[in-house]
């Protein structure tokens, strides 16, 4: 690639055990510029190679930062159907970096990637065979999430921000959330409440039984660093 890029990291927190359990790697420009500015430089015919390069670079950077936790990596819609061509490179990077495969979580966007479900399930299972964990990101943003769960159960689902936003004040969102939570409990899938930005959202979800969180309420992404969470989180 003829341009430079790096990563910011945002913690994923287990409030029940009062610990950070993972960091999500978020692509950024060389000086912390937005991910959109980076992807705008990637030619369409290079997106698969760029996606593979992103995963390897994020793994090595997290290793240099001495990340002792899990690492969440995003898998783009375009690359999920070519993952069999690049998964070995990611697996080798995990070995070389000292971050074991079981500590790496591949996130697939529900809203973009569930159009060819038969092939998607095949590749998700391939990822799992290599020892990686899987997560469905932005769950609830599309229309295929529940259909997918019939055939494949990821380790995590990450609830879409549209469902999380002001959930403490929205009866309809609360009822939808309750149904999703019961399904995930029955299937032994961990729920991550992603995009939590306020005390009201956090405390309602915590009272409703959620223990794994991510969002600005806890910590903003830190450029080339592993941030700690706000002191108020573990003191409440």
pLDDT tens series, the chain, 236 aa: 678 999 999 999 999 999 999 999 999 999 999 999 998 998 888 888 888 899 999 999 999 999 989 999 998 766 666 677 678 888 999 999 999 999 999 998 765 444 566 777 888 888 999 999 999 988 876 556 777 888 889 999 999 889 999 999 999 999 999 999 999 999 999 999 999 999 999 999 999 999 999 999 999 999 999 999 877 676 65
213 and 205 Cβ atoms separated by less than 8 Å:
yes
Q: Residue 86 domain-assigned?
A: yes
Task: Looking at the chain, list the stretches that DSSP marks H as alpha helix, in order from N- to C-terminal side.
Answer: 35-39, 47-64, 77-80, 87-97, 110-113, 117-129, 145-151, 161-164, 171-187, 199-207, 231-234
Q: Taking the model in full, what pTM does it have?
A: 0.91
Total tally of structural domains belonging to the chain: 1
Using the structure block, give the residue that is written with the tokens 């991550």: 192
Q: Residue 29 domain-assigned?
A: yes
Tell me the CATH number at 152: 3.20.20.450
91 and 101 Cβ atoms separated by less than 8 Å:
yes
Q: Residue 1 domain-assigned?
A: no
Q: Residue 106 domain-assigned?
A: yes
d(CA 165, CA 183): 21
Q: Can you give the C-alpha Rg of the chain in angstroms?
A: 17
By residue range, what is the domain housing residue 188? 6-234
Q: Residue 168 domain-assigned?
A: yes
pLDDT tens digits, residue range 113-165?
A: 445 667 778 888 889 999 999 999 888 765 567 778 888 899 999 998 899 99
Q: Residue 93 domain-assigned?
A: yes
């Amino acid at each position: 690639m003829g341009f430079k890029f790096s990563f910011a990291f945002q913690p994923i927190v287990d409030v029940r055990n009062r610990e950070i359990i993972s960091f999500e790697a978020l692509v950024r420009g060389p000086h912390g510029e937005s991910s959109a500015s980076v992807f705008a430089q990637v030619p369409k015919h290079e997106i698969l190679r760029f996606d593979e390069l992103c995963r390897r670079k994020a793994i090595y950077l997290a290793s240099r930062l001495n990340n002792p936790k899990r690492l969440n990596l995003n898998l783009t819609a375009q690359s999920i159907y070519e993952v069999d061509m690049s998964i070995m490179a990611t697996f080798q990077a995990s070995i070389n970096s000292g971050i074991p495969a079981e500590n790496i979580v591949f996130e697939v966007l529900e809203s973009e990637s569930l159009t060819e479900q038969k092939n998607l399930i095949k590749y998700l299972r391939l990822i799992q065979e290599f020892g990686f964990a899987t997560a469905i990101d932005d769950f609830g943003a599309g229309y295929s999430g529940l259909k997918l769960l019939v055939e494949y159960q990821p380790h995590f689902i990450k609830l879409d921000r549209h469902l999380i936003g002001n959930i403490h004040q929205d009866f309809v969102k609360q009822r939808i959330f309750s149904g999703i939570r019961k399904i995930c409990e029955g299937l032994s899938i961990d729920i991550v409440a992603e995009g939590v930005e306020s005390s009201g959202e956090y405390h309602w979800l915590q009272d409703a039984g959620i223990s794994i969180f991510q969002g600005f309420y806890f910590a903003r992404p830190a450029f080339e660093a592993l941030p700690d969470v706000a002191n108020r989180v573990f003191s409440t």
